[in-house]
Amino acid sequence: MTRLRIAVRLLILLLLIPSPALAQGISGYAEAKGFAYDERSNSRDPWLLGWGTLFGKWEEMAGGAQLTASARGEWITSVERGPLIFDPADRHIRRAPLSVRDLWVRLPLTPSLDLQMGRFQLGWGKTDGYSPADAFLPRDLSDPFSDEKLPLWALRLSGEEGALRFEAVVSPVTTPWRLPVLGSRNAPLTVEGFPEGTVFNELDTPPPWPGFAALRLLATFGEWDVGAWGRFGVRPAPLLAFRFDRATPTSTGLVVPVERRFAREEGVGVELSRIAGAFVLRGEAAALFSGDRDLGNAYIGSLSLERGFGDGTLLVTLAANAKTTPVDASLLFDRAMLPVLITAWNRTEEWGEWKFVWTAGLRHGDGLLKGEAGYNLTDLWKLTLGGEIPYGSGKGPCGALDAARRVHVALRRSW
Amino acid sequence: MHKKDTAAGIILRLALVVFVTSLFATVTWGADARTLLKESENRHRTRTQQYAGDLTVVNKDGKVRKKGWKSFREGYAGDARNLIRFTDPPEVKGVGFLSISRSAGQNPDQWLYLPSMKRERRIATQDRDASFVGTDFNYEDMEEFDHEKYKVALQGEETLNGSPCYVIAAFPLEKDGKSVYEKKILFLRKDILYLLREDLYRKGDKEPTKRLILSDIQSIDGHWVARKMEMSDLRKGSRTTVLLKEIAFDKPQAVGRFTLQNLNREGGD
């Protein structure tokens, strides 16, 4: 208890330091966030939820090498919080309270050729609202509205020669998508066939060890940026196996074990962007191939249009899959919303910034309205207010989340 | 996201302001305004420039916002390549901006690197009247002052803070794009022909809407440069101050600094 008090006092002291007093290579933030819901999908869902985060990052240049390490500590009041376990690759089904977000070194082999090794995040694709090149990368959906990417353990070789760039990535470990607690308001699973009161017993099935390998080529020609990519290996989004054969009846309902399994998938894609006056046009097309009966093939395209208006930006993205999915698309995660129209508007104001995002599912007529305003109390303290309103048909991935409508408030102190 | 975009835009254009103001070299008086401006350009060209900058925005209520960045430039005007990397506040730390000039009459290629997205994004040119991230600069304020896009006239002389100045009126030529302003009044320090003040008149206004003041002028590596620039919005009562540090001219730049490969290097310069 005494140690806890000392730790809390040290944290408060750190937060109250009026200006960045730490070494230049250290940054981070502490954030307290609260959510309030107006509905519950079952009696286990809380009305109120708290989420506390402490994040620290260290960056250092040693010779020509860049070293980066970061870690995150979290405290969540809901069932999304996992046990305190060693999970350096985010392979378990729940979020560990302590996790490593970055641990990498980048070595310049030549002035135009870099080798990066360790744990880091990737960001691919051209279209911002939905990119098929980016969508397969692992996400943490514990908060289904945050679109949080998970870092990977990988080797990356990247280089540039004239107008041509390339990036080769090998990830020897599968980092799986992390899903919300099944049956909760964040993953209600309203699929017909589950009797009321069914409880899902999610088994922490270990993902396969091999990850994926990918190659991306990019080039710039005047106002055009073009690219092509290919990848093969394990798809990090799991396929859920509901083991009705092992279901057990209890006094409150049926308990159904749910396993995760992972399919292999090969994919190729092209990407294109162009400046046209004040507009930026971007497009991608991808063909994804899998022999898995529940996953199948996919032909995904996306188009986006971006226009700046002073300190604001309007971004409209349309994405669709030309192939019908063998199972309910909601169970395929990165393909769940397709076809989708995403309209995002953000703007920086004198006091801070705000953003508004409307995600409209074109298959089921459902969608998500998301708004957020951040007020800069100072350069280091920020207060954010926002809300997420899923709406529409419960058959759609957004409409199914109607019990997850919420407002939130967050206070962040950066350093 | 766009916040970083526009902030990067500011810094690039600030770099251009620094560059252009440094072009006002000492010349022998006896010519008209056009000749003076042309002479200055020829004398103060630099191969490279780099500096660290602190930007402070004070709104009408006295609330203060700050940003820090590093700026690198190679070449000038038509063949300039610029890289900007934000260092402060933490929210924008690591954001990078790369601009590569294209042939005459074409907008430069511009990319933004956002650490949160882990990739670069190509960006389009912005509205010229848009303000930047709550600062008192708009995009036109940050553009390189090209006297050939203006009709210029020497209007007389005035003394600013003890420094005698030539006063030149510049009227935008509409054929070179719509200007936010009807008129700009430039105050050039007589001894070194360096810009000390710029009064900006919006269309239809009899009084200046905004005022740019350059001060703390020093000779660094043989080039005059104002280490402090302050833009005041005379209507809103707010002001934005830019302080330049660690300025260096003609210093060789690292190989590959002005490339997309380098822009995508998280944590790099």
- pLDDT per residue as tens digits for the range A233-247: 999 999 998 888 888
Report the residue of chain A nearest B7, measured CA to CA. Answer: A311
Whether residue B261 and residue A165 make contact (CB cut-off 8 A), yes or no, is: yes
Q: Which two tokens stand for residue B48?
A: 């490279």
Report helix, strand or coil for A178: strand
Distance CA A166, CA A410 (A): 39
Interface contact flag, B6 A29, Cβ < 8 Å: no
Instruction: Give the pLDDT of residue B22.
Output: 47
Q: What pairs with residue A36 in β-bridges?
A: A48, A407
Q: What is the pLDDT of residue B16?
A: 56
First to last CA, chain A: 27
Identify which of A24, A346, A350 has the shortest CB distance to residue B134. Answer: A350
The answer to whether A380 contacts B88, with C-beta atoms less than 8 Å apart, is no
pLDDT at residue A361, as a whole number: 95
User: CB-based contacts of A415: which residues, under 8 Å, 6+ apart?
Assistant: A14, A17, A20, A21, A22, A26, A27, A28, A29, A380, B90
Q: Look at A353 and B3 and tell me if their CB atoms are within 8 Å.
A: yes
Q: Which A-chain residues 384-413 have CB contacts (< 8 A) with chain B?
A: none
pLDDT value of position A41: 78
Q: Which domains does chain A have, with CATH numbers?
A: 28-332 (2.40.160)
Say if the Cβ atoms of A160 and B132 lie within 8 Å.
no
Shortest CB distance from B118 goes to which of A121, A159, A311?
A121
What is the per-residue pLDDT for B89?
A: 86
Of A140, A146, A192, A181, the closest CA to residue A42 belongs to A181
Question: Could you tell me what percentage of chain A is helix, strand and coil, using 3-state DSSP and rounding each to the nearest 5?
Answer: 10, 55, 40
Whether the Cβ atoms of residue A227 and residue A218 lie closer than 8 Å to each other: yes
Do A348 and B119 count as a contact with CB atoms less than 8 A apart? Answer: no
Q: Which of A379, A383, A413 to mutate to probe the B interface, most B CBs <10 Å?
A: A379
Residue from the list A114, A159, A311 with its beta carbon closest to the beta carbon of B3? A311
Structure tokens at B223: 């080039």
Residues of B in contact with A123 (CB under 8 A): 117-119
Tell me if chain B has a CB within 8 Å of the CB of A148.
no
Q: How confident is the model at residue B117, as a pLDDT? A: 86
* CA A136 to chain centroid: 10
Q: Compute the distance between CA of residue B12 and CA of residue B9 in angstroms, rounded to an integer.
A: 5
Nearest CA in chain B to A148: B116
User: Is beta strand A199-202 parallel, antiparallel or unpaired with respect to A254-261?
Assistant: parallel
Quick one: closest CA in A to B131, which residue?
Answer: A310
Show residues of chain A in contact with B131, CB under 8 Å. 310-311
Nearest to B234 by CA among B259, B201, B214, B208: B208
Residues paired with residue B183 on neighbouring β-strands, in sequence order:
B201
The residues in A 162-181 lying below 8 A from B, measured between CB atoms, are 165
Query: Is A346's CB within 8 Å of B133's CB?
Result: no
Residue of B nearest to A376 (CA): B65
User: Least CB-CB distance to B133: which of A346, A348, A380?
Assistant: A348
Beta carbons of A27 and B123 less than 8 Å apart = no
Compare CB distances from B260 to A111, A165, A346 and report the shortest one's residue.
A165
Measure the N-to-C terminal CA separation of chain B; round to a whole number of Å: 20
> Residue A139 contacts by C-beta under 8 Å, 6 or more apart in sequence?
A147, A148, A149, A150, A177, A178, A333, A334
* A394 in Cβ contact with A411 (< 8 Å): no
pLDDT of residue A218: 94
Q: Which residue of B has its CA nearest to A113?
A: B261
Amino acid in the structure at residue A245: D
Position B228, amino acid = K
Mean pLDDT by 10 residues, chain A (415 residues): 54 49 72 93 86 94 90 88 86 92 94 95 86 90 90 96 94 94 82 73 89 95 92 94 87 87 95 88 96 94 89 92 91 92 91 94 95 92 96 91 94 94
Nearest-CA distance A274 → chain B (Å): 8
Which of B83, B89, B86 is CA-nearest to residue B69? B86
* Residue B211 confidence (pLDDT): 95
Chain A from 199 to 238: CB within 8 A of any B CB:
218, 220, 222-223, 225
Structure tokens at B268: 């790099």
Chain-chain contact of A380 with B90 (C-beta, under 8 angstroms): yes
Please calculate the CA angle A259-A261-A263 and round it to the nearest 5 degrees.
165
Other beta carbons less than 10 A from residue A25's beta carbon: 13
pLDDT in tens, chain B (269 residues): 344 445 555 555 555 555 555 444 333 334 588 887 777 777 667 889 899 989 898 888 888 888 888 989 898 766 788 898 988 888 888 888 888 887 765 667 888 888 888 888 888 766 667 666 567 887 677 666 777 778 889 998 899 989 988 899 989 886 655 678 899 999 988 888 888 999 999 988 889 999 999 999 998 888 888 999 999 999 888 899 999 999 999 899 988 899 999 999 988 77
pLDDT of residue A173: 94
Q: How far apart are CA B19 and CA B250, in angstroms?
A: 12
Residue B47, pLDDT score: 86
- What integer pLDDT is reported at residue A81 of this predicted model? 80
pLDDT (0 to 100) of residue B215: 94
Q: Is the peptide bond preceding residue A46 cis, with omega within 30 degrees of 0?
A: no
Residue A79: CB atoms within 10 A of its CB come to 16
Q: Which residues of chain B lie closer than 8 angstroms to A225, CB-CB?
A: 122
Give the residue on B whose Cα is nearest the Cα of A160. Answer: B261
- Tokens 């991808």 map to which residue? A286
User: What's the Cα-to-Cα distance from B31 to each of A71, A170, B160, rounded to whole Å?
Assistant: 64, 66, 22
- pLDDT, residue B61, reads 82
- How near does any CA of chain B get to the CA of A157, in Å? 11
Q: Which residues of B are less than 8 Å from A307 in CB distance? A: 124
Distance from the Cα of A199 to chain B's closest Cα (Å) equals 37
CA–CA dist B216, B54 (Å, integer): 14
Which residues are CB-neighbours of A4 under 8 A, at least 6 positions away? none
CA distance B129 to A309: 10
> What is the topology classification, in CATH, of domain B2-263?
outer membrane lipoprotein receptor (LolB), chain A (2.50.20)
